[in-house]
Amino acid sequence: MDTTRAAFLWVIALAVLESATSVELTFELQDNAKDCFFEYIQKNTSCTLEFQVVTGGSYDVDVQLLAPNKDVIYRQVKSQFDSHTFTTDTTGDYAICFSNEFSTFSHKLVYMDLQVGEEAPLPGMGHSTVMTQMETSADSVHKALLSVADFQTHHRLRESQGRKRAEDLNERVFWWSLIETACILVVGIGQVCVLKNFFSEKRPQTYHRLG
Amino acid sequence: MCKLFGTILVYFFIFDFSHALYFHIGETERKCFIEEIPDETTVLVNYKVEVFDPRTGGFMQSTQGIGMHVEVRDPDMKTILSRVYSAEGRISFTSHVPGEHVICLYSNSTKWIGGTQLRVHLNIQVGEHTIDYANVAQKEKLSNLQLRIRQLLDQVDSITKEQEYQRYREERFRGTSESTNQRVFWWSITQLAVLVCMGAWQMKHLKSFFEAKKLV
């Protein structure tokens, strides 16, 4: 009997442990490409989708969120970042598609965060038990720290956007200065050569006419 | 008892990956993900591959030993991990250098073109999310509150690490900006010098040319 109960508890524990997930992914989206991610979600689950374009082009991407019956729940065109919270109506495979089909040459780096359901409670801490004041405050500290981590992620993405752009600018300035120096030299020398040519060609003709 | 064991297994299989994100790739394609993490951070990658079955039109657990090649590279493009795993795997690694770590997945298929579609279930967890608190509580015999405090400590720890990483990156950012500033400054001076030299040389050269041709 004891083993049966233990096994049953295990099942419950596993179910609880996996009841909520948050997946953060950063991936490269090639030009003209469309990447889709799917997740099987139970109905009446509150989900939050967040995305941000980190680098590439003018930092925009098309985003579509599709329900299992192919209905479009949410759509953004050429968007840089957004967050969308929705509650599922049906159980099934939801699709999130990122499309870069409008861009022919710039590939992009996209960050995505999909949070499904509530955060799983710690093992042994069901919602049914009455919490002491200490536990309640520990819980609120935990929630506050989670939001701190969330803000940090956003700050990190912003920072990396800025940093990547600065690195880009640095490289461009370097190459442009090299090319422009070369241009000045070529044009300068070329000018003199053309001018010289201009005079050396006219001379024999005038002599001819005089003679 | 035997029946119950069966249900556990079923539950395990259903719950293990039913909530993970999945995507499709061709048999010869590779898919990479980037994790920007501080140093000394643990990353846990869970994946499962299913192969498209034309007979049922669905995705099935692979039968003829399809494996996944997992490759992890650190910010200096050094390979930390590169190995072929089976159709289902659980990989964890710890970063030693802060920065962008690239995790690439591709099947070990030897086909050059074509191949079937693969469905990859993937879950990547970073930092304190990798800790299995049920295990910790059991091992160290912690009470509920102790476990919660333990979790808070882990959270603060990872936030501190992230903060330190933030400073490191801010330093690099500043370095880049200063380098750009320096380059623009020196280049404008160099360009000025080049222009002046060029103009002087042009005048001198043309003058001697005209004198030689007796035009002036």
This prediction's pTM? 0.75
CA separation for the pair B200, B205 (Å, rounded): 8
- Of residues B88, B100, B103, the one with CA closest to residue B20: B88
> Cβ separation of A159 and B198 shorter than 8 Å?
no
Q: 3-class SS at B105?
A: strand
Is B196 within 8 Å of chain A by CB? no
Q: What percent of chain B has pLDDT over 70?
A: 86
Give the mean model confidence (pLDDT) for residues B156-168: 92
Give the mean model confidence (pLDDT) for residues B96-107: 89
Domain B21-130 annotated CATH 3.40.190.10: no
User: Which residues of chain A carry a pLDDT beneath 50?
Assistant: 1, 7-19, 211
pLDDT tens digits, residue range B15-55? 355 568 888 888 788 889 999 899 888 999 888 888 887 77
Specify the pLDDT at position B134: 83
Q: Which of residues 126-185 of B touch A (CB under 8 A)?
A: 126, 129, 133-134, 137, 144-145, 147-149, 151-152, 155-156, 158-159, 162-163, 166, 169-170, 172-173, 176-177, 179-180, 183-184
Flag whether pLDDT at B160 surpasses 90: yes
| Structure token digits, residue A68 | 């299992």
| Structure token digits, residue A177 | 């200065």
CA separation for the pair B164, A52 (Å, rounded): 23
**Residue located via tokens 């035997």:** B2
Phi then psi dihedrals of residue A121, to 5 deg: -70, 160
Instruction: Name the residue facing A160 among B5, B36, B210 (closest C-beta).
Output: B36
pLDDT tens digits, residue range A20-70? 577 888 998 888 888 899 998 888 888 999 999 988 878 889 999 999 988
B35, closest residue in chain A (CA to CA): A26
> Cβ separation of A11 and B8 shorter than 8 Å?
yes
Flag whether pLDDT at B7 surpasses 80: no
Specify the pLDDT at position B102: 92
- Of residues B169, B160, B165, B173, the one with CA closest to residue B38: B165
Distances (CA, A) of B56 to B40, B115, B204: 45, 17, 85
> Cβ separation of A195 and B206 shorter than 8 Å?
yes
Which of chain A's residues have a Cβ under 8 Å away from the Cβ of B36? 26, 156, 160
Q: What percent of chain B has pLDDT over 90?
A: 19
* Per-state percent for chain A, helix, strand, coil, to nearest 5: 45, 30, 25
Pick A94 or B86 by higher pLDDT: A94
Give the mean model confidence (pLDDT) for residues B149-174: 91
Q: What is the DSSP letter of B66?
A: -
CA dihedral A181, A186, A192, A195 (to 10 degrees): -130
Phi then psi dihedrals of residue A164, to 5 deg: -65, -40
| Most confident of the ranges A114-118, A129-133, B137-141, B155-159 | B155-159
- pLDDT band, very low/low/confident/very high, at B145 (cuts 50, 70, 90): confident
Which of chain A's residues have a Cβ under 8 Å away from the Cβ of B170? 159
pLDDT tens digits, residue range B52-80? 877 777 777 766 667 888 899 988 888 88
Please provide the average confidence, as pLDDT, over all residues in chain B: 82
In degrees, rounded to 5, the angle at the alpha carbon of residue B102 between the alpha carbons of residues B98 and B107 is: 155
Q: What residues contact A182, with CB distance under 8 A and at least 6 apart? A: none
HEC assignment per residue over A86-98: EECCCCEEEEEEE
Distances (CA, A) of A176 to A97, A171, A181, B124, B178: 37, 8, 9, 41, 17
> Cβ separation of B198 and A188 shorter than 8 Å?
yes
Give the mean model confidence (pLDDT) for residues B98-120: 80
ipTM, 2 decimals? 0.74
pLDDT tens digits, residue range B164-180? 999 998 998 999 899 98
B131, closest residue in chain A (CA to CA): A122
- Of residues A27, A48, A162, the one with CA closest to residue B36: A27
- pLDDT band, very low/low/confident/very high, at B107 (cuts 50, 70, 90): confident
Distances (CA, A) of B57 to A96, B51, B52, B53, B109: 22, 10, 7, 6, 21
Instruction: Say which CATH topology domain A16-118 has.
Output: Jelly Rolls (2.60.120)
Pick A95 or B87 by higher pLDDT: A95
